Structure formats: structure tokens, C-alpha cells
Amino acid sequence: MKSTTPPNITRHIRQLIAKVVPGGKADYLTIHPEADAVVNECFPNVAAKIARAGGRMLCGWQIWEWPHVMVEAEFHAVWVSPEGQQVDITPKPHGEATILFVPDARRTYSGVVIDNVRLPVRDDLLVRHFIKASEAIVQVMNRGERAAQYGHISVPAHEIEPLMMAQGFLGQSISSGLRDHDPCLCGRGSKYKRCHGPGFEALFSK
């Protein structure tokens, strides 16, 4: 995947913002990673910063864009300094220097996993299936009593592996520039929608 901070607030990004925070407003924030902050661990990172320096936690949504494929909102926390400045102290996997952030005053961090909200930016079965695979993986990871676990979660292989393989297959197809009417990535020669597509559709509907 090639997701990064969107350089512009496009029509699809406005649609995504309206979906996660009706009437919400996005702003670009500079990232100042704390020395001991961990990638993807914004909530503990901000809690540790507050313990050292005061201020407060602000929850909201970080907006990601996979250009020409999809836009995605990730539940996220930033630090608000005692002077009231919003700062993202969590380092990013690909070293982005800014984030696009929508504060969400209705929400606080409760420890419960909140899945990303994803919108396709083109009408293509591969992209819709990639989003379904991503959603199904989070649902399986949080099924039943797993929802209360944090950190390493043990999930039976037969539940998670077919979904991970599908997500990988779809991600690779999209990254290779394939569309749903192109020959399927597997090389058997038929279009995705007639080859791997129906099997994946059944898998995601389980």
C-alpha cells in the first residue's frame, strides 16, 4: 500500500470527513515525534506526554490517501499543549512530516478498537474487495472476547489466514495497476470478476 497524508483536501476527502465527523473540519498538523513514542501507539504516547508535560489528549481522525485507490480515516489522538497547540507526537511508518486531522469532540479513547473508515475513490471491484477484506480482518480480530484483549491477540489460523491472503492478493493486484476487467493476478487468464472475485465475495460474506 502507498497510503500517505493527502496533499490536498479533495472531493473524496470531504466526503470521508462528512462521514466520520458531520460538520467536522480538517487541519494539517506538524508531527513532532517524542523520543520514546512508538509508531501506531498514539494513545499511550499521548498519555505519557501528558504525565511529563501536562496538556491534554484530543481524539479525532487522521486522514490517509492511497492515490487513485481509496481514502481512509484512522481513529487517532494528538497532544494539546498547555498553551493550546495541537501537536502529533506519534511517528509515522513512512516518515510523513504532517498529518491531516479532524478533531472529534464526541469521542474519547476507551481501549475498544475502532476500525478505520474507508471510501473507494474509483468504482472497481478490486478496490471494493480490498476494503471488505480490511474490514473483515478487524472484525475477526475483535470477535467475541478478543475485543477485550490488547496487544498480541491470538486468532485461530483458519479464521484469519484466508482473509490476510485475500487482502495481500488484492493489495498486490491494485499496486500492479490492475482493474477488475483485467486478467486476474493469478495468471489463469480470466478477468478478476470471473476468476478470484466470486470466491473472495463469498469469503467476505461469511
Instruction: Give the nearer residue to Zn ion in terms of CB position, either 18 or 186.
Output: 186
Indicate which single residue of 57, 195, 203, 204 sits in contact with Zn ion (rule: CB under 5 A): 195
Part in contact with Zn ion (CB under 5 A); list of ranges 91-99, 103-111, 154-162, 176-184:
176-184
Indicate which single residue of 63, 121, 196, 200 sits in contact with Zn ion (rule: CB under 5 A): 196
Alpha-carbon distance of 131 to 122, in angstroms, equals 12
Indicate which single residue of 18, 38, 53, 186 sits in contact with Zn ion (rule: CB under 5 A): 186
Burial bucket for residue 100 (CB in 10 Å: 0-12, 13-18, 19+): buried
CB of 186 to Zn ion, least distance (A): 3
Q: Which of residues 116-175 bind Zn ion (CB under 5 A)?
A: none
Part in contact with Zn ion (CB under 5 A); list of ranges 43-51, 98-106, 107-115, 190-198:
190-198
How is 130-188 classified by DSSP, letter by letter? HHHHHHHHHHHHTSGGGGG--SS----HHHHHHHHHHHHHHHHHHHTT--TTSBPTTSS
CB of 3 to Zn ion, least distance (A): 25
Contact status: 184 vs Zn ion (CB under 5 A): yes
Alpha-carbon distance of 6 to 62, in angstroms, equals 10
CB of 170 to Zn ion, least distance (A): 11
CB of 98 to Zn ion, least distance (A): 39
Alpha-carbon distance of 93 to 39, in angstroms, equals 6
Instruction: Give the nearer residue to Zn ion in terms of CB position, either 55 or 197.
Output: 197
Alpha-carbon distance of 147 to 113, in angstroms, equals 7
Alpha-carbon distance of 73 to 12, in angstroms, equals 12
Residues at the contact surface with Zn ion, assessed by CB under 5 A: 184, 186, 195-196
